[in-house]
A and B are shown apart, each in its own frame.
Chain A
Amino acid sequence: MKATRRQFLELSAAAAAAVLGPRLARAQTSGPRVVVVGGGFAGTSCARALRQADPKIAVTLVEPNATFTACPFSNSVIVGMRELSAQQFTYERVAADGITILRTSATAVDAPARSVTLADGAKLAYDRLVLAPGIDIRWGALAGYDEAASAQLPHAWRAGDQTLLLRRQLEAMDDGGLVVIAAPANPFRCPPGPYERASLIAHFLKTKKPKSKLLVLDAKDTFSKQRLFQAAWAELYPGLLEWVPLSKGGNVTSVDAATRTLVTDFGKHQAKVANVIPPQKAGRIAEVAGVTDRSGWCPIDPVTFESKLQAGIHVIGDAAIAGAMPKSAFAANSQAKVCAAAVAALVAGGTPSSPKLINTCYSLVAPDYGISVAGVYQPTSGQLADVPGAGGVSPSDAPRETRKAEAVLAEAWFRTITGEAFG
């Protein structure tokens, strides 16, 4: 009898395991092999959903960090409303689902050979690969803003040390200082994030350092939940928070880290504390794998999230070009489950069905004042498009009780989404 393709693959895997040692051998089983790279909201949710969809699938999650630090609610950490530990999650429960976790980085992908190379040079074979690498900063895209500059002018756009650095700078600043936030052009992670951050820093200044000023220099003329944010700012932080749009000279063209100076087309602003939210791109492994286009992000099929550039590789979360869906943790989780269902169908020889996805993002404009945006999405003409008539933002005339309720729901959402991914 001739060996089937599956048997041949198993023999190859066994031979590879013998060479590569026992660590890799754990990942080899007789079921379809799916490798997920990236243990954030997208990758972790996808790995778990794959195991749930079909326990025969051998799922390997490649993630170098032992602890995940969540970005949603990290703006609350910056202003001392919350501790960073409340943002941190480990992978024990993920492993308990029967997922093999490799605490290392993926450094290369051979798409035709369906293999991922790990940091130690070992190769991991897959039937389907899911990349969930999140974002990387485009160092140097903003003149003067390189990795060294971020030690003076924190971005705090990947939660962790940068979050705490910005917090310490705000705490150390004398009353009366100028705080500047530079917000980037689209697309970037968490579209309402810069404006929630501005709101909470304004709240911090109002209560702790009321002679201070906050300037938001924006590379855009419009932003997420704009009317709600601006109405709340006029009500809560008049004279304290000023937003400068692109058309009024808001676009920051260069920065000088040593003097904390931000240069725009219209002038210079010397800050006591400057938070530069820089241009971004898909996490590095996406580029290495050849799934990014010239924008730096990853075009995908809206039904399966399979790359339009490399067969057998799916991209989910912030790295993907997901049409009308924003780069949010909720969207990442929603995409992860759709992608998992599609991958489970594909490895079983089935056909994935057309999905429907949801996003909901809460923002705090004060500790007890929440607003939200929601959307429903479906594949339309090859893109993930808004379902007409659905979605939108919180009502502009909502009573304060509704704003309070949305602040409570925001926290509940965080518990739920982190429970989905890590709990």
Chain B
Amino acid sequence: MISIEVSDLKKYYGEIKAVDGISFTVNQGEVFGLLGPNGAGKTTAIEILEGLREKDSGDAKVLGLDPWKNGYELHKRIGVIPQQFTFFEKTTPREAIIYYGDLFGVKVDPDEILKEVLLEDSAKNRFENLSGGQKQKMGLALSLVGTPELVFLDEPTTGLDPNARRAIWEVIKNLKAKGKTIILTTHYLEEAEQLSDRVAIVNHGKIVAMGTSDDIIEQFGSGERLEIHGTEQLAEYIRKNTELKVQYDSDKHFVSIPLNQKIDALAALAAAEQSGLEWGEIHTRRDSLEDVFIKLVRGEVDESGNIAGNATHVAAVGKRRKK
């Protein structure tokens, strides 16, 4: 069953194309990650789906409802943690849960919810005295009060320390195990990889890649490559003396060679040896989601998934590459 259906959704603010024609679907029980740099349009997109902003054009259906027109109905069925969740300063998590229970007209067991989000210890501390991680957990707790079918988490771990981040991940994994549909926005690659079934990479208001992490790496990654620690002269020597596509990373000081076939590695190493130049550690590696992400958002990938140097039309590339 489909929980969310988005088609050619657009939202412009004057010249700024915050959301520029995105389309995707999210299935029931799926964790769908919207991944992108700051300002990519993730929050605008998610807020349209939550019914907090009105779209300019396109279609968006959430649990079969128009989020803007049927917002009041929709809000009873979804849970949301907005970015940088905040609450009444003098209210404790326990009081807040009871308050939300009253608003939603449901009987709640505050202790059970607090336990679910690992916040029992701070149940009676006022919001103003909670740490960043505890505040986010309180947000999670409140998003669960109405027993939602669908949960929106907008950058739930931004600004948190690694421990707090992992604690939030635990909570999200528990929700996933319970079969909740979750939309997660994040600019942390690891978070998207850890939690999401599928990911859409958003940049400049467009989806530039979508699928499972493996799909995206497969599609946009440069495949297996050989990396040899050495100087730029070494890269130059190998480039001249073989037919391999050689690149040089001046930050990390290694020569990088895409391996179309395993035997390419032998040719590269033979050339390195012949050069008489010094070379050190060698290894082969594949692109991670992070590598692909950086290439996609920096505009460094072309249609074949190769590093393009100074390509600038990521959005267009993404659109062509979209499944």
Q: A and B: partners?
A: no
Task: Please give the residue numbers on chain A whose beta carbons come within 8 Å of chain B beta carbons, in ascending order.
Answer: none
B residues bordering A, Cβ < 8 Å?
none
